[in-house]
């Protein structure tokens, strides 16, 4: 299992448009991709990700586990940077 920590920088919080992009990326991998905030939820399920209500400045983790976990976590980190929604802090 791999894990990275992020801080949400999007002033609107985690909302539908960037979340949709993250879910699309996560679904492209066989590995499990998990968002860990209030709860641990699959990043392949948009409603579960949005239900976390992550606000600007909040830190959260992304975990990947499976055959393509390295590529998956890097793709998620890249998508967050490209969407200008979060910065990697660990």
CATH number of the domain enclosing 50: 3.30.1340.10
Question: Helices in 1-90 by DSSP H: which ranges?
Answer: 16-27, 46-50, 69-82
pTM over 0.75: yes
Q: What is the mean pLDDT of residues 16-21?
A: 93
Residues spanned by the domain of 82: 2-88
Does the pLDDT at position 28 exceed 90?
yes
Structurally, how many domains does the chain consist of?
Answer: 1
* pLDDT in the model for residue 10: 94
Q: What is the mean pLDDT of residues 64-87?
A: 96
Average pLDDT value over all residues in the chain = 96
Active site residues: 15
* pLDDT in the model for residue 36: 97
């Amino acid at each position: 299992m791999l894990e990275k920590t992020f801080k949400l920088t999007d002033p609107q919080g985690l909302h539908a448009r960037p979340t949709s992009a993250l879910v699309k990326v996560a679904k492209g991998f066989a590995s499990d991709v998990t968002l860990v905030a209030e709860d641990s939820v699959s990043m392949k399920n948009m409603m579960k990700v949005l239900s976390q209500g992550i606000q600007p400045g909040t830190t959260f983790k992304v975990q990947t586990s499976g055959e393509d976990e390295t590529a998956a976590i890097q793709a998620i980190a890249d998508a967050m940077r490209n969407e200008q929604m979060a910065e990697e802090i660990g």
